Amino acid sequence: MVKKLQAAADAIFLAPLNMTGISQPLALSQSQTWLFSEAVRVAGLSIVDEGWDRNTSTAFAAPAAYGIGICQHYRRPSLCIEEGNAMKSGNLLALEYTDLVYSAQIMWVFEGSLNIKDEDFIYGSSDLGSKSAFRLQVGEDAYWMEICARTQSLLESSGMFPTRVILIGDRAKDRDFLRVLQDCLSNASNLHYQSLDGEYMEQDHDHQDSSDLVFGHTIIDPVSAAARGAAKIVKRAMESPGGCIESRECYQWRDEDGW
């Protein structure tokens, strides 16, 4: 599989690959990560900052679909401009809800630039996937209350309230999930709910309920978005003098080596 991916990427970029970033759900087990990592090494590639949570989070990578990705690798540069214009500045909350995982991440976006204040502002749990929950029964009030509580705790710890919400995952358009999400974030004003089909609408508590939200066909593939996010991390590491990714790591490298 890795060999096929490598060959396909070489054909697209017209240059050999020597480094890769892995993008996967936060709840993927360490043993599964190790197996894939071994396959990558056998293929002759190196992995950037393996084990770094944000490198393996689809919740982090999804905004790449909105202009934060590696646009210069597009064959049609105009697409980059379109994506950059689509990303509005503000606090972006990315929520991933699948059969196996519920994860959330809050980040600040300004004119296409992504800023994550602290790695604690990421939450991922395999306990709350629609088919993997084992402490709570999916569909019961206690289950939805737990999802809401985890989300609110994330926002409180970050000190940020979202102006836009991106919904990710094959269960993210579940009507019960959307209803709970609206109630959970009911204090937001002018909050945009946005799915990966690029459509959104303002929340109006007097005239709108969860059934009014967009359930359209997904045009932008979440998997592709995640892959672009991982590629962005690789690109950042390759361009930085010390191969660092986070600003804290870069500052430490600069102080130690006089950069």
- Domain region containing 14: 2-56+222-257
Contact assessment for residue 28 and residue 225, using Cβ atoms and an 8 Å cutoff: no
Q: Which two tokens stand for residue 106?
A: 């809050």
Residue 177 shares a structural domain with residue 251: no
How far is the C-alpha of 230 from the C-alpha of 258, rounded, in Å? 29
Give the tens place of pLDDT for each residue, 185-237: 875 545 555 544 444 333 333 333 332 333 222 334 555 555 665 666 666 66
Within-domain flag for 50: yes
Residue 124 shares a structural domain with residue 231: no
Residue 208 shares a structural domain with residue 227: no
Residues in the chain: 259
Within-domain flag for 72: no
How far is the C-alpha of 133 from the C-alpha of 102, rounded, in Å? 10
Within-domain flag for 70: no
- Report residue 124's pLDDT band, with 50, 70 and 90 as the boundaries: low
Residue 207 shares a structural domain with residue 228: no
Residue 9 shares a structural domain with residue 41: yes
Residue 129 shares a structural domain with residue 192: yes
How far is the C-alpha of 34 from the C-alpha of 24, rounded, in Å? 13
Q: Which two tokens stand for residue 42?
A: 């056998």
Q: Where are the beta strands (DSSP E) in the chain?
A: 19-20, 46-47, 90-97, 102-110, 113-115, 122-125, 164-168, 192-195, 200-202
Please list the residues that pair with 19 across neighbouring strands. Answer: 46
Residue 176 has pLDDT above 80, yes or no: yes
Give the tens place of pLDDT for each residue, 61-79: 444 444 443 344 444 545 5
Pairing type for strands 90-97 and 164-168 reads parallel
Contact assessment for residue 122 and residue 25, using Cβ atoms and an 8 Å cutoff: no
How far is the C-alpha of 117 from the C-alpha of 19, rounded, in Å? 26
Residue 94 shares a structural domain with residue 125: yes
CATH number of the structural domain spanning residue 172: 3.30.420.40
Within-domain flag for 83: no
- Report residue 109's pLDDT band, with 50, 70 and 90 as the boundaries: low
The residue type at 42: V
Within-domain flag for 64: no
Lowest mean per-residue pLDDT among 57-61, 144-148, 200-204, 239-243: 200-204
Within-domain flag for 96: yes
Residue 96 shares a structural domain with residue 173: yes
Within-domain flag for 69: no
Residue 52 shares a structural domain with residue 131: no
Q: How many domains does the chain have?
A: 2
Rounded to two decimals, the pTM is 0.56
Distances (CA, A) of 124 to 14, 100, 116, 205: 36, 11, 16, 29
Contacts of 74 (CB under 8 A, 6+ apart): 80
Residue 241 shares a structural domain with residue 129: no
Q: Which residue in 76, 103, 60 sits closest to 225, CA to CA?
A: 60
Q: Which residue did the predictor score with more confidence, 251 or 89?
A: 89
Residue 253 shares a structural domain with residue 163: no
Within-domain flag for 168: yes
